[in-house]
Every structure is written in C-alpha cells, then in structure tokens.
Amino acid sequence: MNDPSQESAKDKNTFKFCLQCPSANNCCVRVRHGLGEVESPPLLNGEERLIAAETGLDVSAFAEATAASVLAVKRGNNCCYFYKNGRCAIYAVRPFDCKIFPFDIIEHDDEFYWIVYLDLCPPEVGFSVKVGDFKAAKQFLRDANIRRADLAAFVRYGREVMAPHRYKLLEPVTLAH
Ligand code: SF4
Ligand code: SF4
C-alpha cells in the first residue's frame, strides 16, 4: 500500500485482521492456480461493467469466461491482474468476492451457507473470526444485492476452484430476494 488515499479506503472497507496482513503474503498475490493458492475472483451482477467504466478498459482485457459459466478476473504475472505496485488498482470497485474474502458462500444441505477459510491467511495475521468482521461480510452481501441465480453461479465456481481449502461453516445466508 503506497497510496495514502487507498490505505485509508482500506481501513474503512475491510476486515480488522486484514490490516495486519503483510502485503507480500496477501490473497491478491496468491491468485494463481494450484493447491494452497487462491483462484481469480469471479465477477457478478455486472461488476465487470463497473470495473470497465472505472478503468476505461475493455472487459476482455481483464476478465475471462470460466468453466463454471461465470466471468473471472484474469491472472497477471502470478497474481491478480489488478494487483499493481503492492495494492489493488481497483480497490473501490473490487469484486464482491474480494470484499468478503476469506469469508465465502457454499451450498450445504440445499442451502447457501457462510463459511470462512482457515488455511489461506498468513499465520502472522493471527486470524480468528470476530463478530464485527462477520457482520461486515454480511453487509457486503446486502450491499451487493445479488440475485439467487447469480449466487448459485458464484457458489458453483467456488466449488470448482476452492475445494481443497479447509473451512469452518458459519450460518445460512439470508438473501433479500
Ligand atoms: S490473506 Fe487474509 S488477512 Fe491477508 S488480506 Fe487476504 S483475507 Fe486479509
Ligand atoms: S481485484 Fe483487487 S482485491 Fe481482488 S484479488 Fe485482484 S487485486 Fe486483490
């Protein structure tokens, strides 16, 4: 983080434990294929159009179709396409998936469920789920106003790419519609 305005935006819009994350280890750097790594964030609800408008890029420059029929951000040089100079170049309009990570949503007993990954944040963070951080994740979901069909695609993509990771089941997801 070398842009002060970006840093203050991060303070207000991320989880408390993320503020302790050493930048060399954070999840944006680990966006690449393979066990122990983090897959590219999927794009929902027209997020690609928002990012295209913000950056002036064509969607095809930064997004690609996946086997799960959702668009996902491309990988750059062994990290997310938008991870530049030690920070997210689109922080204000980063995908919902990035906002909620390391929380995620899966399907469990025919219901959408909140989970949190247990093996992806660096040990220095001393990660543990705090009520305030989980509330913030749920607020990100309310703000995103995601339709059930889009959330189903998001979950399908997550099932394909995040299956190897250990997680803790939290509670059922409540959707506005
Ligand atoms: S790796 Fe974990 S603690 Fe670090 S920025 Fe990502 S979610 Fe936050
Ligand atoms: S879009 Fe931004 S926050 Fe999301 S993985 Fe890429 S660099 Fe990180």
Distance CA 10, CA 140 (A): 14
* Sign of the CA dihedral running 157, 14, 120, 141: negative
Picking from 67, 66, 97, the residue whose alpha carbon sits closest to that of residue 82 is: 97
Over its length of 177 residues, how does the chain's per-residue pLDDT go in tens digits? 333 344 444 555 778 888 877 766 677 876 544 444 667 899 988 899 999 999 999 999 999 998 778 899 998 777 889 988 888 899 999 999 999 998 999 998 889 999 998 878 877 776 677 788 899 999 999 999 888 888 999 998 888 777 778 889 999 998 876
Tell me which residue has its CA closest to atom 5 in ligand 2. Answer: 28
Distance 28 CA to ligand 1 centre (A): 8
CB of residue 157 inside a 6 A radius of ligand 2 = no
Report how far apart, in Å, the C-alpha atoms of 47 and of each of 10, 11, 34, 41, 127 are.
Answer: 19, 22, 25, 11, 28
Distance 113 CA to ligand 1 centre (A): 21
Instruction: Look up the pTM and report it.
Output: 0.87
